[in-house]
Chains A and B, each alone.
Chain A
């Protein structure tokens, strides 16, 4: 079979994948009518799911189209569904009070809720999450006056929730709570600066199996992260089992002068990890 002959099916698969379908079986049952009917059914199911989640998370509050407010970037296909990088970018300079990241089809859909403090620069936030199924991701930005703006993005990957965290539990828990902070630009007083926080933590979600013992590893995951600069809040994050192993969070802050970034991480076993970093480093 020649290389060129392989190209055509690849293109067809690309189209099928948009519909969230299994490639192998679409070829077996390739009725276009069935595909269309099914896509419509899926679209309706996905819309119903978001309605349900919206109600569970925001109650009766209404959400407005956030296409002009917030943008979600994610790879079309990640190599590892347990490590899907997500970038949330504010498209306007309007102040943001808080930010929700919702992975619709994960059993615990609220992957993170950032609440920003006076030292925050909330324009770009990055984090890595687990994605269990083909799903919509929703980002909701809350303005200081309580308005909610929503954007959505579809991702196609699966299996992130039961992927093992590492070689084995003992290995995964080594150095738990260790943190590193990288400043991603030059420090200049009064100028916003991006920083990348790396936390050593397995973030066990209770659905992974230890490859050594073959038992389910009890859940142990980061529940909150508090970042502050010289005592003034940068952000508070309520997190959940959807954060990846060894979370990496990129955020912006506004250092008015040389100072100290303090990070406090609490996990579901109530372990508390506390680190301070000089800004600029050294």
Chain B
């Protein structure tokens, strides 16, 4: 529709970001690029259709809240339940610019398990809108040898805004 043509420039404050050659090492939240070399950028409607067709492993790489050490014992700590695209695995940390070795191992293992070791299996990686973590994690999956990697930059915000269903998930941590 006509309105959509105006929106990319408005949704992202400032000029579009050029795709980095390596991993994004800046702040994870902020204007993102619109392309992913070696992968496919997908938006809500096409993603819904892709999931309908099946045979897709979906990974959410959003950060998980961590209760800080030394918080008062009686302080209220109540993170919101974490909504994911139904069936998605939540692997916080997999989208950091420099990934910690234990998270790298965990990420590889879950990808291998979820794809039956098939590098042609379709992967969808997402986090939030304006979030680089999913871009990094998608780039990383491509570097592992996966050939059908989709990056979903609309994130959970876009998914929910489209009225798509969600489920609750617990984070997979090393």
* A interface with B by C-beta (< 8 Å): 1, 5-6, 9-10, 12-13, 21-31, 34-35, 37-38, 49, 52-53, 56-57, 105, 107-110, 132-133, 158-159, 161-164, 205-207, 209, 214, 216, 218-221, 223, 238, 240-241, 268-269
Residue B170, interface by CB 8 Å: no
State how many angstroms separate the Cβ of B170 from the closest Cβ of chain A.
15
CB within 8 Å of A: which B142-171 residues: 154-155, 157-163
Interchain CB contact under 8 A, B71 and A108: yes
Q: With CB as the reference atom, state the residue of chain A lying closest to B98.
A: A214
* B interface with A by C-beta (< 8 Å): 1, 3-4, 6-8, 10-11, 25, 27-29, 43-45, 63, 65-72, 75-80, 96-98, 128-129, 154-155, 157-163
Chain A hits for B10, CB < 8 A:
6, 9-10, 13, 23
Chain A hits for B158, CB < 8 A:
22, 24-25, 28
Chain B binding surface SS class: loop
In-complex Cβ contact of B29 among A10, A26, A57, A163 (8 A):
A163
Per the bound structure, the CA–CA distance linking A12 and B11 in Å amounts to: 12
Interchain CB contact under 8 A, A24 and B154: yes
Per the bound structure, the CA–CA distance linking A110 and B74 in Å amounts to: 11
Interchain CB contact under 8 A, A53 and B78: yes
Closest 7 CB pairs of A and B: A219-B68, A25-B158, A34-B163, A268-B70, A206-B68, A29-B162, A107-B65
In-complex Cβ contact of A28 among B4, B67, B129, B157 (8 A):
B4
Interchain CB contact under 8 A, A219 and B70: yes
Per the bound structure, the CA–CA distance linking A265 and B14 in Å amounts to: 40
